[in-house]
Amino acid sequence: MPQIIQGYRVTVKPSDTTAESTYVSDVIAAGAGATTVHYPTLYRAIAISVAIKNQDTANPCTFSINGQPAVSLSSGADQNINNQNIVSVQVTPGAAGSTAILAQVTPMYLSTEQARFNRARG
């Protein structure tokens, strides 16, 4: 069943085996302030898995997924969020190092998983 996330109609289930996916990487520079990676705008896609890597060895960074409350990530740490529909990631990097966001994205389909499955099976 489709769901609405931050105003976008998402028809992909995170573990949909019929959906194509690829890898994208965004690096947020040290001290950049709050920066949002918005997958529908940048890639016309929805992220289904995200790895956030704080490359600052002295300062924590904070991140927020889909507008949820921010979470702090300690210096040099990383966090994986898997099998979720992610429209946006907002990151505030530390002052001394960048933050990398590595994501698996899938296109924004207009059809549902069931419709794609039926077409693939005939």
Q: What is the pTM of this model?
A: 0.83
Is residue 122 domain-resident?
A: no
Residue 16 lies in a domain: no
70 within some domain: yes
pLDDT, one tens digit per residue, over 59-85 is 999 999 999 999 999 999 999 999 999
pLDDT at 14: 75
Q: Residue 85: which domain range?
A: 3-10+24-109
Distance, in Å, from the CA atom of 51 to the CA atom of 7, rounded to the nearest integer, reads 23
Whose structure tokens read 């899938």?
106
Domain membership of residue 63 (yes or no) is yes
Number of domains the chain is built from: 1
Q: Is residue 62 part of a domain?
A: yes
60 within a domain of the structure (yes/no): yes
User: Which residues in the chain come in under a pLDDT of 70?
Assistant: 1-2, 109-122
